[in-house]
Amino acid sequence: MRFNRRMALNRPAHNSAMPELPEVEVTRASLADRLQGAEVQAVRLGKPLRWPLGVPPAQLVGRRAGTLQRRGKYLWLPLAGPVAADDAAPEGGLLMHLGMSGSLNLAAQAGDPGAHDHFDLHTSRGLLRLTDPRRFGAVVWSDALQAGPAAKLLARLGAEPFDASFTPVQLHAALQARRTPVKAALLAGDIVVGAGNIYVSEALHRAGIDPRTRSNSLSRPRCERLLAALRLTLARAIDLGGSTLRDFKDAHGMAGAFQDEALVYGREGQTCARCGGTIRRIVQGQRSTYFCGGCQRR
């Protein structure tokens, strides 16, 4: 998967959106190599985030970063302690979430923290800083990804959309158990993770499925088209650095460009590029849904 970031930094904002799988994956990719092997030198906590860190900040000092991973919209940074006399390095790590408006930045030099800078991890590779104007993000210590707070927070997550073991047959079976509109079922995150409002609207358009369609009415062939469309949409979003409607920037401070290619999202009243119909906007579950009534069928 390529990360060819065509970024636009001064794009007008017309809405805000929670960082979803593409934005979190772009963040992971822009941090992973630079953080690998970094030693924690100091930790600063700002205003409280959604959940407390869970350990004294001093407990992180001296640990070294492993490979940054992603699960759904969470990032996991393993932090191994100094090797003990028995050659066993204490396990553990930080589970991070960007909330509704958060971003992570790693800089060789950083200025004094601002009002929205709530977590600083000073390392030998630079300062990793979480900036989150709304403070719905989180940085939580866990003894392992499969234990403690991390295991509890990740327990209800659905399948990763790019996981080859997640098949159209499985998607069909999961949707057969739901009577809710298909858009709501996909946004719930317990069938498939990371598909947010923009990407579900776009994927349903690519698949030709009306977002109001009842989940259990979808045939297996339509589920096959839907999963393919979802993967294509998310892959393209990652390639373009995610979407920036207001807040999101990657770890280099760059904004995403996927919204500039959106086929339906934010295009109410415009002409559908596929069929020439008119793009509509409705509200589902207090979220804006954009679709074409001409080529998206129930």
Total residue count of the chain as it appears in this document: 298
Cα–Cα distance list, 242 to 121, 226, 284 (Å):
24, 20, 23
- Residues β-bridged to residue 122: 42, 127
- The one catalytic residue in 20, 23, 25, 202 is 20
Residue 20 is among the residues annotated as catalytic for this protein: yes
Name the pTM for this structure. Answer: 0.85
Is residue 269 within 8 Å of 278, Cβ to Cβ? yes
Distance CA 244, CA 259 (A): 7
pLDDT at 90: 65
Read off the tokens for 22: 């593409």
The DSSP element (H or E) to which 26 belongs, if any, is helix 21-35
Q: How many CA atoms lie within 13 A of 48 on its CB side?
A: 4
Mean pLDDT, 10 residues at a time, the chain of 298 residues = 32 49 92 96 95 96 96 96 60 93 89 94 96 94 94 95 97 97 96 92 97 98 98 92 55 58 93 96 95 96
Distance CA 112, CA 114 (A): 6
For residue 36, what are the contacts with CB-CB under 8 A and spacing of at least 6? 65, 66, 67, 68
- Angle of helix 197-207 relative to helix 220-239, nearest 10 degrees, comes to 130
Residue 19 is among the residues annotated as catalytic for this protein: yes
- The one catalytic residue in 212, 225, 281, 287 is 287
Q: What is the dihedral of CA 27, 33, 34, 39, to 10 degrees?
A: 110
Give the pairing of strands 93-97 and 126-131.
Answer: unpaired
For residue 15, what are the contacts with CB-CB under 8 A and spacing of at least 6? 245, 246, 266, 288
Read off the tokens for 161: 């959309």
Is residue 241 within 8 Å of 6, Cβ to Cβ? yes
Q: Is 14 exposed, middle or buried (0-12, 13-18, 19+ CB in 10 A)?
A: exposed
pLDDT at 83: 57
Distance CA 157, CA 262 (A): 26
Residue 179 is among the residues annotated as catalytic for this protein: no
Cα–Cα distance list, 19 to 43, 73, 136, 214, 237 (Å):
24, 8, 11, 27, 12
Distance CA 43, CA 55 (A): 11
Q: How many CA atoms lie within 13 A of 36 on its CB side?
A: 9
The DSSP element (H or E) to which 172 belongs, if any, is helix 168-176
- The one catalytic residue in 19, 133, 161, 181 is 19
Residue 287 is among the residues annotated as catalytic for this protein: yes
Distance CA 82, CA 60 (A): 11
SS3 label, residue 118 = strand
Q: What domains appear along the chain, each with residue ranges and CATH number?
A: 21-154 (3.20.190.10), 168-292 (1.10.8.50)
- The one catalytic residue in 34, 73, 206, 222 is 73
pLDDT at 209: 98
